[in-house]
Amino acid sequence: MEKIKVIVGLGSCGIAAGAAKVYDKINELVSTGKYDVQLAKTSCIGMCYKEPLVEIIDNNKSYIYGDIDISKAEEIIQNHTENHTPLQDYVVHTEEFETEDDIFWNGQVKIALRHCGYINPEKIEEYEAKEGYSALRKIANDKISYQTIIDEVLASGLRGRGGGGFPTGLKWKFARNNENEEKYIICNADEGDPGAFMDRSLLEGDPHAVIEGMIIGAYAIGANSGVIYCRAEYPLAIVRLNIALAQAREKGYLGKNIMGIEGFNLDIYVKEGAGAFVCGEETALIASVEGERGMPRKRPPFPAASGLWKKPTNINNVETLANIPWIIDKGSAEYAKYGTEKSKGTKVFALTGKIKHGGLVEVPMGVTIHDIIFKLGGGIQDNKKFKAVQLGGPSGGCIPAHLDDTIVDYDSVNATGAIMGSGGMVVMDESTCMVDMARFFLDFTQKESCGKCTFCRVGTKRMLEILTRITEGEGKEGDIEKLEELSEQIKDASLCGLGQTAPNPVLTTIKYFRNEYEAHINDKHCPAGSCEKLLTYEVIDDLCTGCTACAVNCPTNAIDGERKGIHFIRQDACIKCSMCVTKCNFDAIRTY
């Protein structure tokens, strides 16, 4: 019988949940000889809501255990060592039997995430064992031309997964048609929205897939230099990228005359970004790589004609590039089997917010938002009512519950006023105030504005001021119309995608939840009971014991009542500080 293999998920999410401590404990037990098992590491498999995760491979059977701590880990290993049977109460996924978490896996089709959580990302041999670099070898062995590769990517229907959804093959074609001898290929790993969680997980879990996609792209467009632009806040991704690049050079996948292809020379290096959201826009990214302040430039010329150092440059994001080796290896027709007529393949989403199963999922284009949230995502936390989903990152839009049958493809999502973005999906329940949600996202984009465009710099500031007033009970008649007018001006006059899409959360919440804006402005009331300064605090007579804790701690003496008698809150003196709620030991104060 083969030695039992113990694999600990050591992505950033797992480490944050305590996986490193679990790994160290298991390593200690193995080193002392207590258990004769093979210990290995991997990265995130997407099941972030169950981290830390440990996989046991016993007698060629795989068991993934979730919510594991040090004591559970030893219990599991001991049981497998002695009995070679699983502890079913801790198992979250296996082919041996059903678990309540199987819902998370059903319906997923993993192409971009195909290796994440299944290989050690720091060992190129494990990537190669999973058909890694076979697409590149196929190009070299079969002497496939750059034109054939571009045609294959075009035929696959792959569109950029960074937000805009521009056809990847067409982008490559434009760069190839430029006859300049010096060209660049750039991987954009700097998206700053919840979808960036996906980029980080891919770089941490399968860096070679992204590198191989870049190599193939460089061959197709004729590039001889590559840059991975990754935000410095992803230290683990950067470490693993540099390990993978060194391994690729050693194996001959990077360097001179790659894989025996005469004249195909390429090297790639990592450029650490400072985390500016605007640098997700390609011309701002280019400026940052050149050492300039990250600010967008006018287009045309487009990067395909004049990009990095004014040379032809192609920019794709992490998920886009991770699909490329699979498409070349399996064929465009196989990839195009998934998705809709205009949106082919799969899409990775980072599920977050009021969702039971938060994490990464990869689904075929064409599934409904409802299926993602209520099947894979397990539904809403605490079984509350689903209200809306914010799709497309901070500059995406809010899609209401009654449109949850919207399918996930570029055209259908855009029709709602949202955008696909890089795959952030923030789920909201009935307790979410949509006005405050719009304020929250606009606060982010306003702070991230580079300031180059007056409409973006000043317009978003004025919008944020109005939204803040509204959530604080100081909204005025005409504020909604001002927000709409400013939104359209900012969209029309901004230079880059940040400004052009920044008003989306405001416009979509006004479109679908205008009644909440009106309630805030006209009635000074927050229907969701979320905006603190619009809440009314009231003593529940049947629960009040007259302990006086609320009155004693009220900073404005707004609470009247005798000891052992029912208390009363004077609304004209209440400053809505919540001190009474905090100090009451009998849940006798409600807000509405």
Domains of the chain: 5-101 (3.40.30.10), 124-335 (3.40.50.11540), 346-429 (3.10.20.600), 434-522 (1.20.1440.230), 535-591 (3.30.70.20)
Integer Cα distance of 589 and 2 in angstroms: 62
Nearest to 498 by CA among 281, 210, 183: 281
Q: Is the dihedral of CA 124, 172, 169, 286 positive or negative?
A: positive
Residue 126 has pLDDT above 80, yes or no: yes
Alpha carbon distances (Å) from 195 to 31, 72, 208 = 39, 32, 20
Written as six digits, the tokens of 311 are 């040379």
pTM here is: 0.92
Token digits of residue 100:
């309540």
Strands 424-429 and 386-391: antiparallel
Instruction: Identify whether the C-beta of residue 60 lies closer than 8 Å to the C-beta of residue 52.
Output: no
DSSP 191: -
Amino acid 193: pLDDT: 53
DSSP letter for 528, please.
T
Identify the CA nearest to 228 among candidates 33, 262, 218.
218
Cα(460)–Cα(491) distance, integer angstroms: 11
* CB atoms inside a 10 Å sphere around CB 360: 28
**What mean pLDDT do residues 42-51 have?**
95
Give the angle 246-204-26 at the CA atoms, nearest 5°: 100
Identity of the amino acid at 494: S
pLDDT in tens, 443-454: 999 999 999 999
Cβ(521)–Cβ(476) below 8 Å: yes
CB burial of 429-457 (b: ≥16 within 10 Å; e: otherwise) equals: beebbbbbbbbbbbebbbebbbebbebbb
For residue 397, is it left (φ>0), alpha (ψ between -120 and 50) or beta?
beta
Higher per-residue confidence, 543 vs 196: 543
Decide if pLDDT at 132 tops 90: yes
Half-sphere exposure of 323 (CA within 13 A, CB side): 32
- Over residues 40-60, the mean pLDDT reads 96
Q: Which pLDDT score is estimated for 2?
A: 83
Q: What is the pLDDT of residue 422?
A: 79
pLDDT for the residue numbered 192:
55
For residues 128-156, give the mean pLDDT: 97
Q: What is the pLDDT of residue 532?
A: 85
Q: Does residue 409 register a pLDDT over 70?
A: yes
pLDDT at 163: 73
What Å distances lie between residue 6 and 110, 129, 211, CA to CA?
A: 23, 19, 28
pLDDT of 299 strictly over 80: yes
Write out the H or E segment, with its range, that includes residue 284: helix 282-289
Instruction: Read off the pLDDT of residues 304-349 as tens digits, 9 standing for 90 and up.
Output: 999 999 999 999 999 999 999 999 999 999 999 999 999 999 999 9
Label the pairing between strands 225-231 and 184-189: parallel
Residue 15 or 497, more confident? 15
Instruction: Give the E-state strand segments of 144-204 in sequence order.
Output: 184-189
pLDDT at site 243: 98
CB burial string 365-400: b at 16+ within 10 A, e below: bbbbbbbbbbbbbbbbeeeeebbbbbbbbbbbbbbb
Query: Looking at the predicted structure, is the pLDDT value of residue 207 above 90?
Result: yes
- pLDDT at residue 181 in the model: 86
Mean pLDDT score, 176-195: 83
Number of Cβ atoms within 10 Å of the Cβ of 129 = 10
